[in-house]
Amino acid sequence: MTITRLHSGPRMSQAVIHNDIVYLAGQVGNPGEGVTAQTRSVLASIDALLAEAGTDKTRILTATIWLADMADFAEMNSVWDGWVAAGHAPARATGEARLATPDYKVEIIVTAAI
């Protein structure tokens, strides 16, 4: 069974493909931007990585969203809801966590079928 890694560094890969499933690393937006801008940036990164892996957001199986502050839940959802393709919402969980730097407001991790 082949394992393909995209954008690998010494610590991690941005995506790993195995058995017609693509696993994305947590995607974050531009530090210092607000929740709306970071969410848009994250979703654009997800779209690009999924395209590179040969799939798209309609094939997302699961999404895990980490917010630095759950008070930003509605603002993040306003962007997410406009991005998710109708009839293709994945299983999803959202929680609050301290992210890698205080400048990050949102991180999204997805798994998708090819």
CATH of the domain at 64: 3.30.1330.40
Query: Which residues span the domain enclosing 61?
Result: 3-113
pLDDT at 98: 96
pLDDT digits (tens, 9 = 90+) for 73-106: 999 999 999 999 999 999 999 999 999 999 999 9
For residue 100, give the 3-state DSSP assignment.
coil
DSSP three-state, residue 61: strand
Q: Work out the burial of residue 17: count CB atoms within 10 Å of its CB; fewer than 13 is exposed, 13-18 middle, 19 or more buried.
A: buried
In order of 74, 102, 108, the CA distances from 43 in angstroms are: 16, 20, 8
Residues 11-69: tens digit of each pLDDT: 999 999 999 999 999 999 999 999 999 999 999 999 999 999 999 999 999 999 999 99
Q: Please, what sign has the CA dihedral across residues 107, 39, 41, 104? A: negative
Looking at residue 1, what is its pLDDT? 84
Looking at the structure of the chain, the number of domains it has is 1
Q: Kindly provide the b/e burial profile for residues 61-99, where b requires at least 16 CB atoms within 10 angstroms of the residue's own CB.
A: eebbbbbbeeebeebbeebbeeebeeeeebeeebeeeeb
C-alpha closest to that of 104 among 38, 11, 50: 38
What pLDDT is attached to residue 83?
Answer: 98
Q: Give the three-state DSSP class for 13.
A: strand
